[in-house]
Structure 1
Amino acid sequence: MIKIFIPFIKLSFKEYKPYFIALICNALIMSAQTIFAAYTLSFILSCIESKDIHASFIYVTIIVGIELLLFFLVLLSKNILAKRQAIMEEKIDQMLTRKILEIPFSYLEDPKYLELKKNASFSINNMGAIYSLFTSFTTLFSNLISLIGLLVIILSFDYIIPIILFVGAILTILVVMLSMKSQIKFYKDLLPINYKYGYYLDSVITPTKVKELKFYSLYDLLYTNFSNYGTNVSKRFGKYYTKVSLFYSASVILRYIQLAFVYALVGIKTITEKLPISKFSLLAQAALSFTTTVQSIVESLGNFFRNIEYIKPFMEFMAIHTEIKNGSNKLDKILTIEFKNVTFKYPNTDKIILDNVSFKFHESEKISIVGLNGAGKTTIVKLLCRLYSPNEGTILINDIPIEEYEKDSYIKQISAVFQDYKLFAYSIKDNINPASSVDVEKICADVGISEKIEKLPHQYDSLIGKYYDDSGVELSGGQLQKIAIARGLAKDSSLLILDEPTSALDPLAEAEIYENFNQLSKDKMAIYISHRMSSSIFCDRILVIDGGIVSDFDTHQNLMLKKNSLYYKLFTTQAKNYKL
């Protein structure tokens, strides 16, 4: 527990110090209020016993004034703390987001990482663990200070009463610890069920999935699964609340038994030692506040330990090693790319994707990479983009190893449009390039999408999709692909990559885009990957990948002379299908 909590506090304190200042101030003020409350009635009774009306009036006025001051200070501190808490939670969310962005790309295909990321996000967003942890910590800190003050008051009268109070506290702690273990187990059992619920819910609100559900009449299956989920969860919650109620009842019974013993001792002591009524009131109030404070401490401890368990996935996620090998060389332009004996297999797999691959691209060359599915075409692009590192061999950029370049300057020189591209629920203009210096309209005209955009009510300011605004527009797959390609063209880089981004376009539209792309990239190096062989005609050379090895690397004309080559078979087969 401590191994999780201390690093969490350090991490949070580094992120937002004002929250902890507000937390400490709030705890001190609440402690002062609790301790002073124990004295209030005793002070008033002392004034009555003195029979000095004038002095009594002054004392009572001061006491009421202090009570009001503490009351308003508590309200103020809680208000400030609540505001700081909201900021703190936002900071925690930002920490998680930053970490996700810093994680090496290879983790995105690791099931263990994906599971941990899901758990980390669930714990802080769905379970409210961050808020509950800080709240329980604040309460715990405040109550411990109060407990010390109350103990001093009680010890000034008697030594037996504290023993009874501590025995009761230990028994209560045991009950709460059992309750906490039950709650933690419930949370762990609930995680996989909640993931299923999230999937079912996503299935009925995601347009593409709803289409499949309607077309294939899968609603009954989904409804059955959803109903089973609801029944399962209801049973689990029923058992959970029954256990929690039993534990709570046990702690309340213990508290009343403890109070009965304490009040009996206080009463006996008052009678035998003839204590003034004001002293009796002080001792009784202090004992009552002590038991209440102990109960609060025990509950806070339970919440504290439970929430420590909840944030465990978050801390494990934040502890993931994110250091990526980063060089110091700045890259101004990519002139040559060379793979020298590169071998690669994806993490946690044994299958070799690229096997001793070697080739070299030159300045301003247009290269087409072709091959069957799973040959390793996209893997070459991922290695070039430094999403992965080769297991063996070297990748040279301008005759310098790729890892010796400073990563940010390197990535600036690459513009890639992937087959699984993503657009965001922002305006079309912001999706392409938010920089005002880029001529978005011209780029959209080059890819053949400007006419469609200019017919929209908000034109280039139109939001893509209706995720958070009904004024957003729903575009076809082909139109979205054109916007993704426009985004690639808008980036001022020296290497352009198209990795199967035109699958939703018809062959003529694809050929037009490739031709425009070829003209726009005439002074830059460009790499094309497509199952449609029309892109190869525009290229200077074609790299043919077959089963993870380079089977050919030549011009279109020369490769077409090799009647038995994979390239010839692919090209002629597709030409027959399209009647080219």
Structure 2
Amino acid sequence: MKKAFRILALIQKLNPYAIVSVFMFQVTTLASPFMMLYFTAQIVNQIINQVSLSEILPTLFIFLGVKYLLALLNNIFRCMNDVNIADVGYKLNDQLTKKALVMDYQQLASPENRLNFQRAEEGSNFSGGILTFISNVVGFTFGVMISIAVAGVALINVILTRSSETTPLATFTNSWVFPVILLASILIPLVLAVLANRKAAMFQKASFEIVTHSNREMGYYYSTLLTNNDVGKTIRLYNAADLIIGVVGEGGQLLIDTYLKSNLDGSRYVGLSQMVTTMGTAIIYLLIGAKASVGVISIGSVLMYVGYTQTLINNLVEGLGKFTFAQNIINYLQYYVDFLDLPDTQSGIQQLPQAERLVFKFEDVSFTYPGSETPVLDHVTLTISDQERIAIVGKNGAGKTTFIKLLCKLYQPSLGRITLNGIDINSFDNEAYMRLLSVVFQDFNLYPFEIDANISLGSDYYENRVLQSLDVVGVADKVKKLEKGIHTTIKGQLDEGVDLSGGEAQKIAIARAWYKDSPFVILDEPTAALDPISEYEIYQNFDALMEGKTAIYVSHRMSSCKFCDRVLVFDQGRIVQDGAHDELIDDESAIYAELFNAQAQYYIS
């Protein structure tokens, strides 16, 4: 119940009119059959009592007028309800997107949080998510409440209406047995409906695990095969089409078999429940008919009371069924609520130092990823001086990229602290601190925006500087030849746009870092996708790129170390060597010389 209230609170926050519109829609939806039963009973009674047509017509016209008004109101509230429900869905997606953009990066990157968010998406797709929760769960809750109120009053009236006759049938209708049997005819089908729907929900939950896994696998194949040209080349060169078609076919058949089994297993219990409900309805007809036969209610009232009771039973059975399945929806949506409750990035309030020189220090810094016991960085201590150019090298998994993420405040140290001019970097305002850094990660992203927008991103836009940045990285001529130049869209999921090679994309990413013009530049494998000539050109322009700036250069290409002031060698989370290239290369027994010579042997005889 607590989970449901948290979701209701989220819906109310997203759109305060959504729940109200659902209620009004349910009121006008249920009012129509109830009013029809009421007026039908009145007209039947008038006909049986041989009332003249002139007296029946006003009742008929009132009925038609009320029916038209209810239909009009129902259509208005249905439209409002559809708009509000859709608005909740859009705003939820908007909230999730915003949350992913502002939340603590370490939380965002957590495997557990990513898995839970994936479960929420898959569960919502499987069950209908928050839209189904509003329309079915909330809607049917109101429907059941309204039905209980209307039918409850009618049933109380039936029970309290007593016959003055002394016949056995009249004595039965006046006894306590009558209401007991009447209530049992309503409650027994409801209990069976709950049990049947619980069983059906269990089958649905079991099938969900299979279906979500299969959907994830099928989604991977479809998205990868349709959007990744490199995959298409590999499939054709290695004749892998039959293998993939077989896997996709097996996955599709598994989905069909799972859905079929789940529906068949659940339908057995639901069918039994429906049979008992029909029997209960027949008993209710007999009981209320008995009241009519002893003269305490009219024939028209029999139709009305039975109709009210039948509507109540149908709504209760369907509503309880929705509540049973709602538990699954609530569990899926709970992942969304938990995701939105994750902490945002904690920002300090201190302004950046006004000093001309920026000095960063790692003071006994260690970092361990959540769920792991082995530190990725282990008691790292060093100073990065202003305008210093540092190369960071080491084997895979040595902690180089994690070191960069800590410096960028994306991760928080598990031990120790990082300072800027003696002040803990967590004390500084985040936006101000990020303005200090221009970073190109090895897994950089270009977005399906225009080229100039990819370069400027959140910085102020200056077209001349965009053109200059393209010239600095050596891709200006390529862009000028495009029909729309810097206003050409980079192709992503859009139909129109240009496909860039890996090297061209990497140059755009470097141009973005240069455009930002921050005093501290970090390049993590910035030339991995470049050909030797392009890499040489970047190296030649390195002085211009980094003029007056502090620079950290992470690379597996050891040649980059030669133009840096200092080389840091990482191994198993520690800095094992620290010095200039000429100094480190002389120690042939150490890691740096081993790494450098391992590459050099392929270029020298």
The alignment's TM-score, normalised by the length of structure 1, stands at: 0.92
Partner of 1:502: 527
Counterpart check, 1:178 vs 2:199: yes
Select between 99-108 and 384-393 the one with higher mean Cα deviation. 99-108
Q: Deviations over 1:89-128 (max 9, x none)?
A: 1112223223333444334654433321211121234532
Match of 1:299 in 2: 321
Superposition pairs for residues 25-64 of structure 1, below 5 Å? 25-48=24-47, 49=49, 51-64=51-64
3-state SS in 1 of match to 2:127:
coil
| Structure 2: distance between partners of 1:356 and 1:298 | 59
User: SS of the residue aligned with 2:510?
Assistant: helix
Structure 1: runs of 5 or more not aligned: none
The amino acid across from 1:41 in the alignment is T
Residue 416 of structure 1 is matched in structure 2 by 439
Partner of 2:15 in structure 1? 16
Matching residue of 1:71: 71
CA deviation profile, 1:297-341 (whole Å, cap 9, x unmatched): 23332342342233243344444x425443221226771111122
Aligned position for 1:153: 154
1:273 to 290, 295, 298: 295
Q: 1:563 to 1:181 in 2, by over 3 A?
A: closer
- Could you say if the C-alpha distance between residues 166 and 550 of structure 1 is closer, same or farther in structure 2, counting changes exceeding 3 Å? closer
My pick for the range that moved more, 524-533 or 101-110, is 101-110
Partners of 1:124 and 1:19 lie apart in 2 by 19
User: Which of 339, 342, 347 in structure 1 is aligned with 2:365?
Assistant: 342
For 1:241, the aligned partner's letter is: N
Give the percent of matched residue pairs that are identical in Structure 1 and Structure 2.
28
- Cα distance in 1 for residues equivalent to 2:512 and 2:372: 34
Q: Deviations over 1:395-420 (max 9, x none)?
A: 11121112212222212221110111
CA deviation map 1:270-290 (0-9, x unaligned): 122264333233223223323
**2-structure distance, mates of 1:169, 1:489:** 69
Contact kept? 1:38, 1:289, Cα under 8 Å: no
Give the 3-state SS of the residue equivalent to 1:17 in structure 2. Answer: coil
- The change in CA–CA distance for 1:293 and 1:543 in structure 2 (over 3 A counts) is closer
The 1-side partners of 2:36 and 2:190 are apart by 21
Amino acid aligned to 2:185:
I
Say whether the 8 Å CA contact 2:22–2:139 is kept in structure 1: yes
Q: 1:152 to 1:527 in 2, by over 3 A?
A: same
Q: Which amino acid counterpart does residue 135 of structure 2 have in structure 1?
A: T
Q: Distance in 1 between matches of 2:231 and 2:436?
A: 37
Alpha carbons 1:47, 1:59 under 8 Å: kept = no
Structure 1 match to 2:518: 493
Say whether residues 1:230 and 2:228 are aligned partners. no
Please say if residues 34 and 146 of structure 1, whose CA atoms lie closer than 8 Å, have aligned partners that are also in contact: no
For residue 569 of structure 1, report the CA deviation from its aligned partner. Answer: 4.8
Deviation string, structure 1 residues 401-440 (Cα, Å, up to 9, x no partner):
1221222221222111011111122221221124423521
Specify the code of the residue in structure 2 equivalent to 1:505: L
What SS does the corresponding residue of 2:379 show, helix, strand or coil? strand
**Structure 1 position 360 matched with structure 2 position 383:** yes
Structure 1 residue 496, shift from structure 2 partner: 0.8
Partners of 1:3 and 1:99 lie apart in 2 by 23
CA distances 1:329-370 after superposition (whole Å, capped 9, x unpaired): 122677111112223333322333333222211222222222
2:158 match: secondary structure: coil
1:26-425 equivalences under 5 Å are: 26-48=25-47, 49=49, 51-107=51-107, 110-136=110-136, 137-158=138-159, 160=179, 161-205=182-226, 206-273=228-295, 275-319=297-341, 321-331=342-352, 335-425=358-448
Q: Distance in 1 between matches of 2:418 and 2:29?
A: 63
Contact 1:537 1:556 in 2 (8 A): yes
Which residue identity does 1:311 align to in structure 2? L
Q: Does 1:426 align with 2:485?
A: no
- Tell me if the contact between 1:331 and 1:413 (Cα under 8 Å) persists in the aligned partners: no
The 2-side partners of 1:400 and 1:512 are apart by 38
What is the alpha-carbon distance in structure 2 between the residues aligned to residue 294 and residue 245 of structure 1? 18
Instruction: State the secondary structure of the residue aligned to 1:157.
Output: helix
Cα distance, 1:255–1:270 mapped onto 2, change above 3 Å: same
CA drift at 1:485: 1.0
Q: In structure 2, what residue type is equivalent to 1:192?
A: H
Give yes or no for contact 1:31–1:143 (8 Å, CA) kept in 2.
no
Structure 2 counterpart of 1:220, one-letter code: D
Task: Render the CA deviation track for 1:247-274: whole Å, top value 9, x for unaligned.
Answer: 3322221221111111112222212226
Secondary structure (helix, strand or coil) at the match of 2:602 reads helix
Distance change >3 Å, CA 168–CA 210, structure 1 → 2: same
Q: 1:554 aligns with which of 576, 579, 601?
A: 579
- Alpha-carbon distance change, 266 to 375 in structure 1, aligned in 2, over 3 angstroms: closer
Match of 2:540 in 1: 515
Provide the alpha-carbon RMSD of the alignment: 2.5
SS in 2 for 1:156: helix
TM normalised by structure 2 equals: 0.88
The aligned counterpart of 2:566 is: 541
**Counterparts of 2:560 and 2:21, CA distance in 1:** 63
**Tell me, which stretches of 5 or more residues in structure 2 are unaligned?**
160-177
Q: Residue 500 of structure 2 aligns with which residue?
A: 475
Contact 1:143-1:296 within 8 A present in 2 as well: no
Whole-Å separation in 2 of the counterparts to 1:368 and 1:50? 103
1:184 partner letter: K
Structure 2 residue 463 is the aligned partner of structure 1 residue 442: no
Contact 2:449 2:489 in 1 (8 A): yes
Q: In structure 2, what is the Cα distance between the partners aligned to 1:484 and 1:83?
A: 41
Q: Kindly provide the amino acid, as one letter, of the partner of residue 76 in structure 1.
A: I
**1:454 matches 2:454:** no
* CA distance 1:174–1:573, change in 2 (3 Å): closer
Q: Is the 8 A contact 2:387 2:550 kept in 1?
A: yes
Moved more, 565-574 or 500-509: 565-574
What is the aligned length?
Answer: 577
Are the counterparts in 2 of residues 143 and 297 from structure 1 also a CA contact under 8 Å?
yes
Matching residue of 2:602:
577
In the alignment, the residues of structure 2 paired with residue 272 and residue 281 of structure 1 have an alpha-carbon distance, to the nearest angstrom, of: 16
Greater displacement, 99-108 / 453-462: 99-108
